[in-house]
Each structure stands twice: as structure tokens, then as C-alpha cells.
Structure 1
Amino acid sequence: MRKPTIQDVARRAGVGVGTVSRVLNNHVAVKGVTRETVLRAIADLDYTPNPHARRIAGGKSYTISVLLPVLTTEFYTRLLDGLEAAFQEARYDVAIFPLLDRSRLERYLGSHTLAYQADGLVMATYNLTTLFHERRVRTQQPTVLVDAYADNVDCAFMDNVTGGRLAGDYAATLPGALYAVWVETELDQLFTTRVFEDRRSGFHEAVTRAGRTVRREFTSSFDTLAARNTAAALLDEAQTTPGGLPATVFASADLLAGALLDEAQLRGLRVGEDLRVIGFDDQPWAAARNLTTLHQPVENMGYEAAQLLLSRLGGHRGPARARRFEPTLIRRDTA
């Protein structure tokens, strides 16, 4: 059987080829009912556009560049799932550019870099748009921030202050000394991200309001070995300081919470009694480990960020828009 063509889709949907093309390009000038009719025809015929012909005809790459801090955490894997789901629906390819460290970031600052030859740009967690104003990066593509907020660019972000408050409100009701573990990476020293700063401010606000104090705070990177070393240092202090146990720890990312659970098990501590742990993320493994944590709708946040960018690519020219997401506390056995 021959492959269905765009003309076949147009005939089945009862529209012109140009309308089908606009639907494929996610153009805003197509009515909702018409769009649904065309998408149904595409699905019925199992039509797949020729990407090479599409690029030539449209003068576009049909590629979106995604700049991520790292690739090795479950958070960014889930974020990518949400982004890619939306972009694939609109038949855009995704090119991933992990920043990782200063040297790699410097390579991405040149306007000749492939990252800036895509039709659109997604920046995760770190707002690099200040580099555009400094003319260190020259790009005209529509840009969206995800897991970050700015008032001059489209963004989809988590309300981390509220998440920190929820953790602090709950931690303050639990017995024993309070500890906290925060995340810092090399990129934090180069660019501003408010993710963990906001979680920290919300947590301290709630703890102070409840008349409690945090005995000590620790900092770790996203590296699993660093997280385990930090967990060991925290538990060393708790076990050797009078009144250090029982203890409640707010680990500002589930990766850090998991390291605490591993270290506590190694030391024979009773999690939920000697040590209470509250995480942040609700990663897929959190339920299996009975981790009390703040659930983040990460995939939904990624999907919404992609939709904001796709609407720009489809012709939207309005002011910057912000989509806010709020974490929810999930209580399990660790606290």
C-alpha cells in the first residue's frame, strides 16, 4: 500500500492542503473544531509528514533545543517526558543540550552553536536570557523557561516557596531536632536559580512561625556520592550531639532523602522514629520507599511549558505568560 499523503488527509478532513499544513505547524489561526477534524484524519490514515520535505517547504528546522543543567536526575528525566510529549504531538524533534559545568556552558554561548539554530529554545531551571541582553548569545528564537520564573519571558514554574512552607509546617509538628539539606551545583555560582532558595525561605518562614529553630543545615550537589557523604555527616552530628536524636530532616530533593534513608539503614536507625525524613519531588520510587515528600507535577509543568513555546511558534505575539504549579504534601511512613 502506498503511504498516505497530505492531499489524502485534506480530502478526508474536507479541508484544503494549506489548512492541514497549518495544523501540522500548530498555527494559532486554525479553529478548534477544524483542528480536531484534521488530527482525526491524520490518525485514521496513520499519516506521517516527510520531515525533509516539511523543513524545505517551511524554511524551518522543526527542532526545539532544550538546555538542561544535568541529565542524570529523575527530575529532569520526568521534565523531558512532559516536554517531549507536547513537542511530539506537534511533530517537532527535540535536541538536548546538558550544561553540566562552566566549560560546557561557555561552548554554548556562541551564536553559531547548534543549540541556537533550532526554531525554539527551552531553558530548564536556569534563566540564561540575561546573556541575550548582554549580547553574548544572539538568538531570535521564541524562548520559554521551565522550572524557573521571570516576568519578561514565557515560563512554567513550581511555587517552591509554598512547597517549602508545607514542609516546614509539617516538620514543625514532629518531635526532635530539625535539620535541612539543600542543593547547590557549580552552575548556581554562575547563574541565579531560585528553586532551592525559595524552598529554603518557605521552610524557614514556616518553622519560625511555629516557634521552632533549625539546628543545622547541610549542602550537597546532585551527585549521588556527595549526597551519601552529606547524609553521613548529618547523621554523625545527630548521633554524637546530645538531643540530636530523634531528628527530623527536610531534604530539599528526593535524591538527598534517598541517601539519608540508605545511611540510616546502614546504621540501624529506625526511620519514622529515630529519624524522620521529608523529601521534595515525589519521584517514582518514593512510594515504594514510603517517603514522605512534596509531590511536584513535573510532567505537567514540562508539557505546559512546551505548549507556551508552540503557541509562540504558531504566531502568538502577546505579552509574557506565566503558568504556576503548586506542590502537595504526601505523607508516608518516613515522617
Structure 2
Amino acid sequence: MHKPTIQDVARRAGVGVGTVSRVLNNHAAVRASTRESVLGAIAELNYTPNPHARRIAGGKSYTISVLLPVVTTEFYVRLLDGLEHAFQEARYDVAIFPLLDRSRLERYLGSHTLAYQADGLVMATYNLTQMFQQGTNIRPYSGPTVLVDAFAEGVDCAYMDNVLGGRVAGEYASQLGGQLYAVWVETELDQLFTTRVFDDRRSGFMEAVEQAGQTVRGEYTSSFDSLNARMVAVQLLDEAVLPATVFASADLLAGALLDEAQARGLQLGRDLRVIGFDDQPWAQGRGLTTLHQPVEAMGYEAAQLLLTRLSGHEGPPRARRFEPRLVVRSSSQ
């Protein structure tokens, strides 16, 4: 048996090859009944498009580049899941480009790397669009661009309301009693260009604490490195006046606090109360009170914004706002 072709699919569905192509490219100008018929024929024939032929025929790469700070944290794994789900539905491949350090950042800002040979670009957490144009006439990428986990005027974005999340955490923490402490995220990349994510969480938290007539006794910073997070947890608990409540601005930092508290024999909910931010998959099993983020949904929505641009949408920039939600568990009860 020969490998099924797009012509075979067209004959089975009773449509033209162009219609099959539009269905494969997720084009909006296809009737639902026709799309169903084509997809049914594809499934029956077990047809797999030839990506090389598709690229040549369409004059497109059918690839989306994703620039993100790192690839090793649970947050970005979940974010990529949401992005890839949407892009794979539309038959786009995803190329991941982690920034990681200063040298990589400078290379991406000042050159035409492979990252800019894609049909669209997703920037996670950090907004590089302005930096593309600062002090140079070279703009590495001029195609459709979407921000995810970040907000900026003049560009499509899907973002979390981190001010609200910080405020909810502050209001809750202020009710728990004991001394208040906080641990904030500081990464090397934060020193190179601006992200509002953790600044927004801090501003919302501090505003709520102040409105409640409370004060934060100590503030600490940690990178996303697990060893550094544990060292900061040791320092905080060495210096804390118990009972204490700690808001950790990312679950990874909260997890380090839980580990150190357990090592010291502290009783969660009595000696120490911990509030995280993210609601990572392990948070429920460890009883961590945290701010739930619909990370996968945010990634999926960002991808949809980009896909509509690739389909010809030319309207003004759109912003999709997501709200964190407090999930109370045993670490604060």
C-alpha cells in the first residue's frame, strides 16, 4: 500500500486539495461540516502531512519560536505545555530558546539567529520588544509577537494579575497572626532587563499588609536554584521570631521552607505558616497553601492570540488577563 497523499484525502472527503490544505492550516474560512469531513478522511487514511512539502508550498516555516528565561522550572514546563498544545493543534512546530545568561541574551538581542526565522515569536515573562529597538536600527524580528506571563502596551499578551495575587496573599497572611516574613525571587536575568512579575507580587502583598495595619519583619531574596532557596530558608528560620507566617513568591521557595521546617521539627500551622505562589502539581500533596495560577490556560491563550495574527488578524493589540486564586491547605492552618 502506498503512503496516503493529500490528493487521496481530497478524493475521500469529496473536496479540492486546496480545501484540505486550509483545514491542515486551521484556516477560518472552512465550513464546520467540510472541516469534519476532511478530518474524518485524514483519520480514516491515517494521513500524515509532509512537513517539508508543506513549508515549500506555503512559503512558511510552520515554526514558532519561544524565548523564555529557563526551561528547568515547573512553571515553564507547564507554560510550554499550554503553548505547545495550541500550536500542535494548528500543526505548528515549537522551537524553544532559553535565555539562561547574559551572553545568550546579548546574542538574541543583536543578531538574526535561528529564533527569528520562525513565523511567529512568543516571549515568556520578559518583554524584549522595546530592547530590540534601543540604541540600534536593527530589529531582529518584525513578525507577529506575543507576550506570555508579561504585560505591555502595544503588543498582544496573556498575563497573570500578579498585583491581585500578592494582595490576596497579603490579606490572608495578615489574618494568621505571628510575625510576617517574605521571600522574593531574584534571578540573574532580572538584573539585565525588567520583568514586573515579582515586583507586582511584592507591591500587592505590601499594600495589603499595610492596609491591615501589619508590618513585614523581614524580607529575603532567592534565585530559582534549589540549593540557594534552601540556604535562604535556613537563614530566614535562623532569624525568625516564631510563630511566623512566610509568603514565598514562588512555590519552589515555599518548598524549601517546608523542607527546612521539617528538618527542624517545626509544626506547620502552629510554629510556622507558609504561603506559596503557583500551585505546582506537588503542592497539594505537601499541603501547601498557595496562589493557584492557570498556567497552561495562559500559555494556550497566548498561542491562540499569535495564531489569529498568523491567520490574518490585523486589529489592535489584545490583552488577556488571568487571576490567581488562593488555595488554603495545611501549611497555614
Instruction: Measure how far apart 1:15 and its partner are.
Output: 2.7
Give 3-state SS (helix, strand or coil) of 2:331's partner: coil
**Equivalent residues in 2 for 1:1-335, closer than 5 Å:** 1-134=1-134, 135-238=137-240, 244-335=241-332
In structure 2, relative to structure 1, the CA distance for the partners of 1:40 and 1:146 (3 Å cut) is farther
Contact 2:109 2:132 (C-alpha < 8 Å) held by counterparts = no
C-alpha distance in 1, partners of 2:153/2:37? Answer: 36
Report the AA paired with residue 144 of structure 2: P
C-alpha distance in 2, partners of 1:195/1:137? Answer: 25
Q: Deviations over 1:134-165 (max 9, x none)?
A: 34433222111000011211111011111111
Instruction: Measure how far apart 1:175 and its partner are.
Output: 1.3
Instruction: Measure how far apart 1:214 and its partner are.
Output: 0.9
Contact 1:26 1:310 (C-alpha < 8 Å) held by counterparts = no
Unpaired runs of 5+ residues, structure 1, are: 239-243
Tell me the TM-score normalized by structure 1.
0.95
Contact 1:294 1:329 (C-alpha < 8 Å) held by counterparts = yes
Instruction: Measure how far apart 1:310 and its partner are.
Output: 0.9
How many equivalent pairs are there? 330
Q: Deviations over 1:203-239 (max 9, x none)?
A: 111111111111111111111111111111110111x
Provide the residue aligned with 1:241 in structure 2.
none
Instruction: Measure how far apart 1:72 and its partner are.
Output: 1.1
Instruction: Measure how far apart 1:19 and its partner are.
Output: 1.9
In structure 2, relative to structure 1, the CA distance for the partners of 1:165 and 1:318 (3 Å cut) is same
In structure 2, relative to structure 1, the CA distance for the partners of 1:189 and 1:11 (3 Å cut) is same
Contact 1:19 1:30 (C-alpha < 8 Å) held by counterparts = yes
Unpaired runs of 5+ residues, structure 2, are: none
C-alpha distance in 1, partners of 2:145/2:330? Answer: 41
Contact 1:178 1:216 (C-alpha < 8 Å) held by counterparts = yes
Contact 2:87 2:303 (C-alpha < 8 Å) held by counterparts = yes
Instruction: Measure how far apart 1:43 and its partner are.
Output: 3.1
Q: Deviations over 1:277-309 (max 9, x none)?
A: 000000011011010001101011111111111
Report the AA paired with residue 232 of structure 1: V
In structure 2, relative to structure 1, the CA distance for the partners of 1:34 and 1:131 (3 Å cut) is farther
Contact 1:28 1:315 (C-alpha < 8 Å) held by counterparts = no
Contact 1:264 1:270 (C-alpha < 8 Å) held by counterparts = yes
Instruction: Measure how far apart 1:36 and its partner are.
Output: 4.1
In structure 2, relative to structure 1, the CA distance for the partners of 1:177 and 1:40 (3 Å cut) is farther
In structure 2, relative to structure 1, the CA distance for the partners of 1:132 and 1:40 (3 Å cut) is farther
Aligned-residue RMSD, C-alpha = 1.4
Instruction: Measure how far apart 1:33 and its partner are.
Output: 4.6
